[in-house]
Structure 1
């Protein structure tokens, strides 16, 4: 489960990498948590656009008070499940999530630290995602997860569905079967770089909402 990632590149750099003609300013922060704004790339009328959206689909759990805060479902465990399949089948609801790294918690309870993962020789890369417009938070997005590769296994058994640059069009415009293939493949071990840190997992700039992964 991925509950923290970074996007430490300018709008101009994102636009150049993803071939976006008209970059726009974003209110997304460089450390992105569930329930906070992140930058998303999607297609509109045949062209790629970038847009700020909330990370996580709003979900009201059974038994929650009508006034309770909604939970952001920020990870997608299975594209074939009812919550996701309708969107996944339609390319217009697929998106690319730009990022410069993602983190997993590692260590004993109460003293977990951040372990960061990046893609070798790729200062900016993409995570496959879905988006929609919600009544509660406006445009929202969630990232597709898959089984981890051996490079990540020492820390976690799941990882984001990472895309190579030449696969962006296939994710955005391909068939549903092609989308499922991305979730069922294993990202190359040799392309993952891991950096363990002493930075406490709970030391955050702002208290984010607790993220969820819905199977």
Structure 2
């Protein structure tokens, strides 16, 4: 499952793609993004779309927690779960920009990276939650965070050759970005990219 991706575009690029967006992200550190780290997302604000930083990992279902600590859930597959249904509406939709993402090859074999075959800007289909209080790290105690995760789906041909169980839901066109943000049924967009839409790349890219 994808638990590592890279974002190497610029805030100016996001502003060009979404004219009038409010940039509240501050300085973005570009590069590899791991679970529980801050990363840029595009979400609904009080007066339109806004670019902000949020922490990767939505709240875990209570039944999986063995202690008070909740490390968060990075990927969401079961959209029929009551735990996730409450956050699937328009108000909690977001786009998570990426340049490439990694899937594990297998134990001890490292990761395979994927990027758009045509160089298009990609976004994960994300959900977000604001002001959630939880213990992410014991040493930090309870914190209040804006959180996000993204949907997964069956893999396309390229990803299935490496990871046959799932891949992230990736949106690659303006129509898909708009449909997701405006609340189109999540099940309609929970689908893989077409075969051939991704290329394998070196991890350095």
Q: Structure 2 length normalisation: TM-score?
A: 0.83
Instruction: Report the secondary structure of 2:148's partner residue.
Output: strand
Between the aligned partners of 2:29 and 2:202, the Cα distance in structure 1 is: 25
Unpaired runs of 5+ residues, structure 2, are 135-143
- Residues 124 and 150 in structure 2, CA contact (< 8 A), matched pair in contact too: yes
Residue among 119, 124, 127 paired with 1:122: 119
Q: Structure 1 length normalisation: TM-score?
A: 0.80
The answer on 1:179 being equivalent to 2:180 is no
Residue among 112, 135, 140 paired with 2:133: 135
Structure-2 change in CA distance of 1:20 and 1:146 (3 Å): farther
Instruction: Report the secondary structure of 2:97's partner residue.
Output: strand
- Residues 127 and 161 in structure 1, CA contact (< 8 A), matched pair in contact too: yes
- Residues 12 and 23 in structure 1, CA contact (< 8 A), matched pair in contact too: no
Unpaired runs of 5+ residues, structure 1, are 200-215
Between the aligned partners of 1:168 and 1:71, the Cα distance in structure 2 is: 28
- Larger RCO, structure (CA 8 Å, separation 6 or more): 1
Q: CA deviation at 1:123?
A: 4.9
Residue among 93, 99, 109 paired with 1:112: 109
Residue of structure 2 equivalent to 1:11: 11
Does 148-157 or 27-36 show the bigger shift?
Answer: 27-36
Q: What RMSD in Å do the two structures reach over aligned CA positions?
A: 2.0
Instruction: Report the secondary structure of 1:148's partner residue.
Output: coil
Residue of structure 1 equivalent to 2:84: 84
